[in-house]
Each structure stands twice: as C-alpha cells, then as structure tokens.
Chain A
Amino acid sequence: MAEPTIYEISSSGRTGFQFHKPDVPCAEIPAELKRDELPFPEVSEVDVIRHFTRLSQLNYAIDLGIYPLGSCTMKYNPRINEEMARLPGFAMTHPLQPLDTIQGNLALIYQLQEWLKEISGFAGVTLQPAAGAQGEFVGGLIMRAYHRSHNDLKRTKILVPDSAHGTNPATSSMSGFEVVNVPSDSRGNIDLEKLKAICDDCVAGLMLTNPNTLGLFEEHLQEVIDIIHQKGGLVYGDGANFNALLGVIKPGEVGFDIMHFNLHKTFSTPHGGGGPGSGPVAVSKKLVDFLPAPIVGIIEEGNDETPPLYGFITPETSIGRMKAFYGNFGILVRAFTYIAMHGATGLRKIAENAVLNANYLKMLLGNAYNIPYNRKCMHEFVAEGFWNDAPGIHALDVAKRMMDYGVHPPTNYFPLIVKEALMIEPTETESKQEIEHFAEILKTIAQEAHHSPDLLHTAPHHTPIGRLDEVKAAKDLVLCCWIPPEE
C-alpha cells in the first residue's frame, strides 16, 4: 500500500509539538490582519517520525549502494562532515553578528577561498553561489561586466559546445547573451575548424566543460583556449567534472578565466535529494574585481601573538550580490573538513581512483554495450542503451531494469550527442568488487535485452512502485493535497 500523505493521517485536535504559553501581557492582533483557518495537518510526533521514516525507505541513496549518475559525482558523504557542520559554534551563529564574534567562521571561509585558489590555480574565489547553476550565472555576469568595463558592447554571444550541461545555455541567456552551439568532432573534442569559423569579436566567451560530458579530456585544450583569447573572449570552465582533475591540472594555469566548483560533487557534500549545493566561482587576476560582494579578506594583519582580523570586502567593480548573506556556509564547513582530511596527496588520489574506476568499468563491459568515442576516459564514460539486433529496447528500459538488480541507473538521454545515452560515473568511493558486480548487472541486462526484452519493457518489477504515468501528471496537474473532508 502507498504511504498516505501526512494530510490523510491528520486527526483534528492532535498536536505533535507543544510550545509554552507567553509569559508577557497579551497584545491583541488587529482583526483585519488575522488569517483565516490554517489548514495544516494535525498529527503527533510519533506519526511524523513514522511517516517520514517510511518515506525514507522508499528512496535509493548512496548509503544503500552504487549511484553512478554521470556528471553528478555521487560519492560517499563522510559522516564527520555532517557533525562538523552541526557544531553549535557554526550552526548557531547569526549571519549579522558583530565581526569579533564570528572570526572562526570568517577564518574558515578565508582559508577555504585560499585552498580552492590553490587547487584550481586561480587568483580569486567567491563562495557565495548556492549551487553550480548559480555559479555559472555569476560567471556569465562577470563576462558581461568585464566586456562592458572595456566599453566592448558588441560581444553578445556565448559559445556552448553541443556536449554541454543544459544549465550552460540557460545561464547564458539569463546573463543577457545569445547562445551559439559548437559541434563536437569524431573524437568527442570540440571541432576546432568549426570553432575557428564561429569565433569572432562578437563572442563574449566560451563555456567549456572539461572533462566534457562524454567523460573525455579535451585533446586540444590549449588551442581551444587560444582561439577564444585571440578574439578577446573569455573561457569559462564548468567545474561539474572537476573530480577527475584534483591535483592533475590547475585550470587557471592552462588559461581558463573563470570556473565554478560544485562542492556537492567534488568535495563530498551531500546531494540532499536535490540540494543544498554550493557553487563557488574562481577567477583569473583580471577578473578578481568583478566578483560578487562580499568576499572575506584580512582587514587587519595579525602577528605572532594575535591572529589577523577577518572581515568582508566588496570588490571594486563587483557584479553585486547573488544571494542574501554569504553562501551556503554549512556546506562550506563540510567541504573544508573534507579537504583538511585529504591534503594534496589525498586529493590527487581521489582523481586517480575516480578515473581508474571509470576506465576499469568501461573495460569490464567489453562488447556488451556500444561505446561511441571510445578512448581513454576520465571519471565517466557514455555507453549506448540500445542494440540494432534488439529492436524496441531503449536506454530507459535498461535504466529501469537496473533498479530490479538493486542499483541506481546512470544518467540517461544525456549528453544529447549520443543516441540513447547511458552516462556512467562510478566515482572513487566504489570498491573493485562493487564495480565488478555493477558490470555483471549491466552485462546480464544486455543479454536480457536480446533474449527476454519484455523483462526490460515492463521493468522495474521489484521497486515500491512501477513506471508512473507522466502524461497524466502533466495534464491533470495535482501539485498539492488537502485534509480530506470528514465523512
């Protein structure tokens, strides 16, 4: 049976939480400003705990097994991170407290800014963006502000490779640019000739994901960057796939001008069922003054006896504020803890094992799946979820069948340049045995696709619920529920 909604288990008059009575004299609320009845559920604490615990059991999660969603970097979320973020010294600080009462927070933010600069090779960092997409938006607005500061108003276009994340084009248009697609070549790189043809002095910049969404390192990285720079454009790096590059290359050194990080991917902060994330943005020297305000800096140098005094700084030509206060601080604490535990050696090991796992898994699949652009991959690769000799089977069927084997399917139907794509990112936290087990499942499904296709068409069979009617959901549009009327 389906879990009822919390509204359906409501019982008039029941309470789950008791507050004290006011101990101050009573002030009347003006009648014309009182709300009508609050139609909230009325349940007990045990009702609440059981309801949400039962709901949790309908979820798949990293804590239950491999979660190989391509470009999402679903790695294990260390428990120490959670404890650190909940320390009262962090969790119970108000964002507007006097500076001298929050020096610990500011020191941590400052240190994390410095570490991210060092890891990425950039000159400045903002930790304000709440997610990768907001980081991209910051990048777009910085490009806009930079060109405007040179009175260069003709730059209206942003180049986006056809293998890019969907957020890239949406970000570009939010930032006031027109999007121009750049095609890939047969090896999964940017098509250099086409890039040269498109790139003119109306280009504000290029948004480049590297490794790209095929999991491939751009083989002409330097040339691509040079082409854009020669025309006066800026190169934006989408850091969603930065896990493969920790300690391997510093994007700032190769010539990227801007890059965002996804702390919830690369630096192990939990995905939380879709957030909160955190999307710090790093920039090269010439762009530091455009960073969103405020950033944390040292406002009074310290000495041997006294630590420095940290405070907020507004960059001179800042694009402005991106959200209230300073960013998703609780997420920053988690990422900070993670980096502190790893150090330089540990970080590089993350990238090495992530890339090793992806290549090992790709090799284990052998010929069971067609892998276009099949060359040495980085942290992920893309396979095709269809076979010419298994008509009617789609990537979706493969994905749904995987659930029957108790694992999470990969990202499917993305990137768009691969037909029936299955985008697989095992991450470094999966063991050799898990990878092998996962490969066996994929191979078994490939056989089933040929011999018992119905098993795939009707999958999943062993999940809490079957395939859902998405057309009905979109047409009938039931987006909220109410307390059922009493009988």
Chain B
Amino acid sequence: MSTPKDLKFSETDEWIKVKGNSALIGITDFAQSQLSDIVYIEYELDVDDDFEKDETVATIESVKAAADIHAPVSGTILEINEALIDNPEHLNEDPYGSWLFKISIDDPSEVDALMDAETYDRFCEDRGN
C-alpha cells in the first residue's frame, strides 16, 4: 500500500491529516500490519477532552497484540469515529480511510515537526528487520 502524500506521521505510527484548524488521526498501514487482525478499539477520551502530544488517546487490541495510540500533536477531541467500535477490522482493511478522532490542533508547529510520507517510509524500512 502506498503511503498517502498528504498526511504526516509520528514515530509511534499514527497519521494526521490536517484540514484548516482541525485534523483527523488514524493508524498507519505499518501499524495495522504489525498488529494483524484488530478485534477491539477502546477510546480513552471523550469529545471535548483536551490532550497533550504523545498522550494515550485510545487502545487497540488484535488477537496477538495490544497497542496504545498516542496523540501525534496536542489538541482537543471534536469527534470520535464510533463506527470503528463495531467494525474495528476497517483499520486493517483501510488504514488511511479509517480515522479514529477528529481533533482541533493547539499548535500547528507540532504538525510541521512530524514526518512526511517519504521520511516515514524510510523509517518503516529501517525497522523492517
């Protein structure tokens, strides 16, 4: 799967897609493939909750593993993708189409500090083995 060029990426394998003052957050293709079959998602935060960069905002479980999802930037929750609760496998099937949170961003410079697609691809390759 090719890595979308319009996203930015964290070292803990989350993506962020910025649209004006708000943004969507999800997990990358690399993250979903490492986890394999995702069976459960638990949101740790509610709408209107504030969070800091790197804070755990959700937990994802697969059959063999569990992973914390960290906020790539600081902000406030605007919307939670409730549809994923019943269909967590969408994260495997379409990682870049399945967002977890819609957020507002506190500090746009935090977004600039994240990796672009090319850098992230190299980052994944380096960890490949």
Chain A: minimal CB distance from B126 (Å): 16
* Chain A positions within 8 Å of B39 at CB level: 471, 474-475
Is B43 close to A, CB under 8 A? no
B40 at the interface (CB under 8 A from A): yes
- Report B31-69 residues with CB < 8 Å from chain A CB: 37, 39-40, 61, 63
CB distance from A288 to the nearest CB of B (A): 39
A474, B37: Cα distance in complex, Å: 10
Chain B residues with Cβ under 8 A from A300's Cβ?
none
Q: Which residue of A lies closest to B36 (CB)?
A: A471
Which residues does chain B contribute within 8 Å of A470, judged by CB atoms? Answer: 37, 63
Minimal beta-carbon separation of B4 from chain A (angstroms): 27
**What's the count of A-B pairs with C-beta under 8 Å?**
11
- Mark contacts of A149-167 with chain B using CB atoms, 8 A cut-off: 1 yes-contact digit, 0 otherwise: 0000000000000000000
A471 to B37, CA, bound (A): 7
- Which residues in window 453-487 of A have CB below 8 A to B? 470-471, 474-475
Q: Closest Cβ of chain A: how far from B89's Cβ, in Å?
A: 8
List, in ascending order, chain A residues with CB within 8 A of B63's CB. 470-471, 474
Contacts of A475 in B (CB 8 A): 39
- In the complex the two chains form, what is the Cα distance from A474 to B36 in whole Å? 13
CA distance A431 to B2 in the complex (A): 55
Give the distance in Å from the alpha carbon of A475 to the alpha carbon of B90 in the complex: 13
**Shortest CB–CB separation between residue A419 and chain B, in angstroms?**
9
**Residue ID in chain B nearest A477 by CB atoms:** B39
A471 to B36: give the CA distance in the assembly, Å: 10
Question: What is the 8 Å Cβ interface bit string for chain A, positions 26-47, against chain B (1 contact, 0 not)?
Answer: 0000000000000000000000
CA distance A376 to B39 in the complex (A): 42
Considering the complex, which residues of chain B in the window 61-94 have a beta carbon less than 8 Å from any beta carbon of chain A? Answer: 61, 63
Instruction: Please give the distance in Å from B31's CB to the nearest CB on chain A.
Output: 18
Cβ distance B63 to chain A, nearest Cβ, rounded Å = 5
Q: Tell me the smallest distance from the CB of A24 to a CB of chain B, in Å.
A: 53
Q: CA separation between A471 and B63, bound complex, in Å?
A: 6
A475 CA / B40 CA spacing, docked (Å): 8
Minimum CB–CB distance from B60 to chain A (whole Å) comes to 12
Chain B, residue nearest A470 (CB)? B63
Q: Smallest CB-CB separation from B87: which chain A residue?
A: A475
Interface residues of B in 8-40 (CB under 8 A from A): 37, 39-40
- Which residues of B sit under 8 angstroms from A471, Cβ to Cβ? 37, 39, 63
Residues of A within 8 A of B40 (CB): 474
Distance in angstroms between the alpha carbons of A399 and B128 in the assembled complex: 24
Rounded to whole Å, the gap between the CB of B36 and the closest CB of chain A is 9
Cβ distance A229 to chain B, nearest Cβ, rounded Å: 34
CB distance from A142 to the nearest CB of B (A): 29
Report B85 CB to chain A, min CB distance, Å.
12
Query: A25 to B61, alpha carbons, bound, how many Å?
Result: 57
In the complex, how many angstroms separate the beta carbon of B110 from the nearest chain A beta carbon? Answer: 25
The residue on B at minimum CB distance from A471 is B37
Task: Report the bound CA distance from A470 to B64 in whole Å.
Answer: 9
Closest to A419 in B: B129
A396 to chain B, nearest CB (A): 10
* A42-94 at interface with B (beta carbon < 8 Å): none
Report the minimal beta-carbon distance from A391 to chain B, rounded to whole angstroms.
Answer: 14
Alpha-carbon distance between A120 and B9 when the two chains are bound, in angstroms: 51
* Bound complex: CA A470 to CA B36 (Å): 12
Minimal beta-carbon separation of A233 from chain B (angstroms): 28
Residues of A within 8 A of B37 (CB): 470-471, 474
In the assembled complex, the Cα of A475 lies from the Cα of B61 at a distance in Å of 11
**A207 to B87 alpha-carbon distance, docked (Å):** 40
Q: A-contacting residues of B (Cβ < 8 Å)? A: 37, 39-40, 61, 63
8 new A-B contacts, CB < 8 A, other than A474-B39, A474-B40, A474-B63, are A470-B37, A470-B63, A471-B37, A471-B39, A471-B63, A474-B37, A474-B61, A475-B39
Q: 3 tightest CB-CB pairs across the interface, nearest first?
A: A474-B39, A471-B37, A470-B63
A-B pairs with beta carbons under 8 Å apart, 5 shown: A470-B37, A471-B37, A474-B39, A474-B40, A474-B63
